[in-house]
Amino acid sequence: MSEKLVLVTGGTGFIAQYCILALLDAGYRVRTTVRSRSREAEVRAHLKMGGSEPGDRLSFVTADLSADAGWMEATTGCAYVMHGASPTPTGNQASEEEWIKPAVDGNLRVLRAARNAGVSRVVVTSAFGAICAGHGPMTRPFNEDDWSDLTAKNIWPYQKSKTLSERAAWDFIAREGQELELSAVNPVAVLGPVLGADYSHSIRLIKNIMDGQPGNPKINSCFVDVRDVADLHLRAMTHEAAKGERFLASAGESMWLADVAKVLKARMGPTADKVSTRVLPNTVVRLGALKDPALRGAVPLLGLTLNASSEKAMRLLGWTPRPREEAIVATAESLIRLGLLRGG
């Protein structure tokens, strides 16, 4: 086994591509999975945008989380696995089962293959959604001891899938992981330089503000730069103190969307001329949600403070994220650079 070979699942993903960049920069060889080899050129183009042309230091394996095929080939010979791939159903009619079962089964499929291949440690990319959902108002920042309360109302299928799939991973390690070690990284809203036409929910928040949405729902969120998320994955992969631990990835205190808009207005100059710093009344958002499915998920979050602490990652792993404002500005700058804003 080569100690320099790492598997990163889901190589087309935003976080996964930055994990690949971080690993290559640290001297590792990387293998990544894609559901179709037709995506290899796209992944390599995104990595080039990120400053890396790895050549044969990066290899590809075709594997899908819904089937066993390819996973032993993907994990064989790897010292570590970074597992961030997760099936994401499309369409407003996707059922909870369509979210949850593939996420849980996918985690178990990767962990089983990693264990059988003699992998040392798997780092699972979980989410803040596995920590914060269903709690209502909090008087303290969320931390790694918190788990989403799935008995509460208004839990999104995504949050359920992330919670249940992470729990399934920890249960697998406890029951049948044998020598396999596990760490988890739980990022809050992930921003940072976009490498291509990536329209994840977090990136879309910045895009919508820059595109001139008429105002900002009273939504609160923590933010973190994708480059720092990748750095935390690398630390969680190799640091002895990370074994059996989960780590929140957040860069400072949470912000209201209107304050995010103010950062863009102050830092982006004339390119932020369309940005509105207005706070939309909750009644307007609730009325809009009756017709706009994109707003429905925001309604349960109106007025809630979703603060999160990364003290554990900083204390145990020496992780130091860049300021949240830098992540916000870097996102907007990359959207402009790649012509991804409306009229850009």
The CATH number assigned to the domain holding 177 equals 3.40.50.720
Classify residue 210: in a domain, yes or no: no
Per residue in 113-146, is it b (16+ CB within 10 Å) or e — as a string?
bbbebebbbbbbbbbbbbbbbbeeeeeebbebeb
Domain of 75 in residue numbering reads as: 5-197+224-250+307-321
**Residue 126 domain flag:** yes
**Does 206 reside within a domain?**
no
What is the predicted pLDDT for the residue at 96? 79
DSSP label of 322: P
pLDDT at 131: 97
- Give the residues of the chain that fall short of pLDDT 50: 1-2, 93
The tens digit of pLDDT for each residue in 42-54 reads: 999 999 999 999 9
Phi, psi (rounded to 5 degrees) for 267: -105, -20
For residue 241, the SS3 value is helix
User: Could you tell me the two tokens for 205?
Assistant: 């928040």
| Closest to 232 (Cα-Cα) out of 311, 169, 315, 317 | 317
- Catalytically active residues are 162
pLDDT at 120: 97
- Within a domain: 330: no
Number of domains in the chain: 1
Q: Does the predicted model carry a pTM greater than 0.85?
A: yes
Instruction: Note whether residue 46 is domain-resident.
Output: yes
In a domain? residue 316: yes
For the stretch 63-120, pLDDT in tens is 999 999 999 999 999 999 999 988 766 555 467 788 888 899 999 999 999 999 999 9
**Does the residue 275 lie in any domain?**
no
Cα-based distances in Å from 222 to 85, 235, 241, 305: 22, 21, 25, 9
Signed CA dihedral, 313, 65, 190, 17: sign only? positive
Residue 195's CB is within 10 A of a number of other CB atoms, namely 22
Residue ranges in 138-216 assigned as alpha helix (H): 157-176, 201-210
User: Counting Cβ atoms within 10 Å, is residue 71 exposed (0-12), middle (13-18) or buried (19+)?
Assistant: buried
Q: Is residue 48 part of a domain?
A: yes
- Quick one: DSSP state of residue 91? S
| DSSP of 268-305 | SGGGGTT---PBPPHHHHHHHHTT-HHHHTTGGGTT--
DSSP per-residue string spanning 9-43: S-TTSHHHHHHHHHHHHTT-EEEEEES-GGGHHHH
Q: Are 200 and 87 in contact (CB under 8 A)?
A: no
Determine contact, residues 108/176, Cβ cutoff 8 Å: no
